[in-house]
Amino acid sequence: MQTEFTLAQLADSDTAQSEKILRACVHCGFCTATCPTYVLLGDELDGPRGRIYLLKNMLEKGAAPEADTVKHIDRCLSCLACMTTCPSGVNYMHLVDHGRRWIERHYRRPLGERLLRRLLGAVLSRPGLLRPALLAAALVKHLAPLMPARLRPLLALAPSRVPARSADDRERVFPAEGVRRMRVALLSGCAQRVLMPEINVATIRLLTRHGAEVVVAPGSGCCGALTHHLGQHDTALAFVRANIDAWERARTDSGIDAIVVNASGCGTMVKDYGFLLRDDPAYAEKAARISGRARDIAEVMAELGLRATGPAKGLVVAYHSACSLQHGQKIHREPKELLAAAGFEPVDIPEGHLCCGSAGTYNLLQPELASRLRARKLAHIAQTGAGVVAAGNVGCIAQLSGAGVPVVHTVELLDWATGGPIPPALAASAGAAAR
């Protein structure tokens, strides 16, 4: 693709990077058919190729974008299915990330929209704010129909009961059982640790049982992805730097073999820290080192080798391959192999390359499109006849839960098969069926 940036524009590192990405696109349109929003809306501007043109024009112009441009970029899920399809290696992720930052800096959204985005960025990424916000939301959830339209999806997705804070989910070292084979830092995260604390607890049990010492490093927390995808660049980078500092301290204290991430949206972000801080002389080297050590929990467990105990559960598991795992990190085979090794029967979900509509804050900001993608995914899950759905990302689990089939994190099943308790969502569903 031809570009027309000025030399002055290309002096900016982000613009120079985006220009390279744009030039790699040959506008073949192969990516269009696998884009969820194009599949739903059938509009070229709601597909990757159309968005690439919009981003190019916006960045070349170097001015505030039109509302229509913002609308089509906002509708993008950042699911990265287009990157899997693209034969030319176009890094759409870095391009749209740059576009979102540009929009945040140069476009004035309506007041309600601005406040909502600020609220989501501030609250979701800070467990200390999210917990009381969810407790308050649970109290007024039944009043959702009376609330302003923009707030209704927030209340609809808020749980009716907020789980208690887990005693295991705190900053400390969890020793390996038996001989220590590995020492890892676990990203404890933000929203997941409030909404589904059982995931970190199961992850710690699974890792320590297989010989990994687990460090939850003081000072680590949100990976920065939520604010990054809202275009709130400075806030996102503050989270990124805090994590890097925390893990570097843990590394220099006693060594760290890997940074383990059990939410694939966060894993894609941590693996990109090196790129995000490439121009920061104080952090570039450390950030690249952290990204190089970041691993999804499935990668680490594949390396450690799974030791299943007891008879095979024989349960058919519909494996939902989160976009950030399959497209963002190109991890698709390992979780299914681990499930099979643990005695489950993993099955693929038809149209598995398409997003479920969760996508960070997407289901809160684009509720209509998100609910259409959810319904489509649930219909495909029903076709599998599976008794449980497994996914490696908390956003997908929240998005697909509540429709009958229990949805759990893959690590919860692996933990159960290797000596841990039955996942709470599965136990609740079995209890409901028995009543």
Contacts with ligand SF4 by CB under 6 A lie at 25-31, 35-37, 48-49, 51-52, 76-82, 85-86, 88, 90, 92
Measured in degrees and rounded to the nearest 5, phi and psi for residue 169 equal -95, 75
Instruction: Enter the tokens of residue 65.
Output: 């974008």
Cβ closest to ligand SF4, residue 92 vs residue 247: 92
Distance, in Å, from the CA atom of 72 to the CA atom of 59, rounded to the nearest integer, reads: 15
Min. distance of Cβ 117 from ligand SF4 in angstroms? 18
Question: How wide is the angle at C-alpha 431 spanned by C-alphas 376 and 358, nearest 5°?
Answer: 25
Is 199 in contact with 412 (CB distance < 8 Å)? yes
Min. distance of Cβ 154 from ligand SF4 in angstroms? 22
Cβ closest to ligand SF4, residue 49 vs residue 193: 49
Residues whose CB is less than 8 angstroms from the CB of residue 284 and which lie 6 or more positions away in sequence, other chains included: 274, 277, 278
Cβ closest to ligand SF4, residue 55 vs residue 398: 55
Cβ closest to ligand SF4, residue 33 vs residue 135: 33
Min. distance of Cβ 235 from ligand SF4 in angstroms? 22
Min. distance of Cβ 335 from ligand SF4 in angstroms? 21
For residue 280, the one-letter residue type is: D
Cβ closest to ligand SF4, residue 21 vs residue 300: 21
Min. distance of Cβ 68 from ligand SF4 in angstroms? 16
Pairing of strands 173-174, 212-215: antiparallel
Min. distance of Cβ 224 from ligand SF4 in angstroms? 19
Is 199 in contact with 262 (CB distance < 8 Å)? yes
Smallest Cα–Cα separation from 257: which of 305, 221, 218, 207?
207
Cβ closest to ligand SF4, residue 27 vs residue 180: 27
Is 322 in contact with 391 (CB distance < 8 Å)? yes
Instruction: Enter the tokens of residue 115.
Output: 């406040």
Min. distance of Cβ 328 from ligand SF4 in angstroms? 10
Measured in degrees and rounded to the nearest 5, phi and psi for residue 147 equal -85, 160
Cβ closest to ligand SF4, residue 48 vs residue 343: 48
- How far does CA 377 lie from the centroid of its chain? 17
Is 227 in contact with 118 (CB distance < 8 Å)? no
